[in-house]
Structure 1
Amino acid sequence: MTTTKTCKYCSKELIGRSDKIYCDAHCKSSYQYQKSKSETPRFYNKVDNQLKLNRKILKQYNKAGKATVRSLVLENEGFNAKFFTHYWKNNKGDIYFFVYEYGFLRRKESNIDKFVLVKWQDYMSIK
């Protein structure tokens, strides 16, 4: 009595080796992709995705190299100030947080939360 094995992804009958699980590379890739979508994202992926989003938002709102934007505008886009790659402290003691080459400093002006956006400059490097 022979039992026929079927592809894990498309359920087609498998022909070939006895330990075969998928009918081709496409089915194997598709199965792994569907499986990864159903799993909870790993911590590293969450952090990396937020950093990428933060960088994209900072780049979008800071085209000239320096800008001031209300914090609500950035936060409504998905910006999260808790995620940054490094920081720089100026001579006044202000600490700018950076997401790769784009930085931000939280300010309160006229009782409104704002971010001062900057781009990394050569003089900021530690010598």
Structure 2
Amino acid sequence: MKIHQQCKYCKKEIQGRIDKKYCNLHCKSAYQYQISKEQPQRFYNIVDNQLKLNRKILKEFNKGGKVTVRTELVNELGFDSNFFTHYWKNQKGEVYLFVYEYGFLKIKEHNNEKYVLVLWQDYMKFNKSKTVK
């Protein structure tokens, strides 16, 4: 008795092993992609994607190590300051938020909101014995 299997993606008859679910690797990949698109996006993916976008934007604008840019300029590109990986507090008490190695500090200059963009430096190393509050 011959059992006829159908490909889970294209529905064509499958030749070969009895436990085979797809007719080829393309159908297997396409089916798994289709299933993943039907599921709601996981919180981890949302956060990870926003961090990646934030880092890309900060990297694009900060070519020289320290630069000031208008907030609306980066926000228009999808930057969201609520997503960052860590922070650093300088001696003046200013708190720079970082997305990996790219940091930003929100300031107001001539009634315009801006970000001071910086690059992580060795002197900013994490100090485990001192907690910043």
State whether TM-score is above 0.5: yes
In structure 2, the partner of 1:18 is 18
Distance 1:80 1:4, change over 3 A: same
Give, in whole Å, the separation in 1 of the partners of 2:72 and 2:15. Answer: 58
Match of 1:99 in 2: 99
Quick check: 71-80 or 5-14, which moved more? 5-14
Map Cα deviations across residues 62-117 of structure 1 (whole Å, 9 max, x no partner): 10000000100010000000000000000000000000000000001122111000
Residue 59 (1) aligns with residue 59 (2): yes
1:46 to 2:27 alignment: no
Residue of structure 2 equivalent to 1:115: 115
Aligned partners of 1:76, 1:39: CA distance in 2, in Å?
A: 28
For the residue of structure 1 that corresponds to 2:6, the secondary structure is coil
* Deviation of 1:2 (Å): 6.6
| d(CA) in 1 for partners of 2:29, 2:121 | 43
Residue 126 to residue 8, structure 1, CA distance change in 2 (3 Å): closer
Q: Aligned with 1:81: secondary structure?
A: coil
Q: Is contact 2:3–2:18 with CA below 8 Å preserved after alignment?
A: no
For residue 85 of structure 2, what is the aligned residue in structure 1?
A: 85
SS of match in other structure, 1:41: coil
**In 2, Cα distance between the equivalents of 1:54 and 1:93?**
24
Task: Name the CA distance, whole Å, in 2 between partners of 1:126 and 1:22.
Answer: 51
Q: Which runs of 5+ in 1 are unaligned?
A: none
Shift of 1:14: 1.2
Scaled by the length of structure 2, the TM-score of the pair is: 0.89
DSSP-derived class of the 2:47 partner: helix
Q: What TM-score, normalized by structure 1, do the two folds share? A: 0.93
- Distance in 1 between residues matched to 2:124 and 2:20, nearest whole Å: 57
Look up the match of 2:34: 34
1:34 deviation in Å?
A: 1.5
The unaligned stretches of length 5 or more in structure 2 are: 128-133
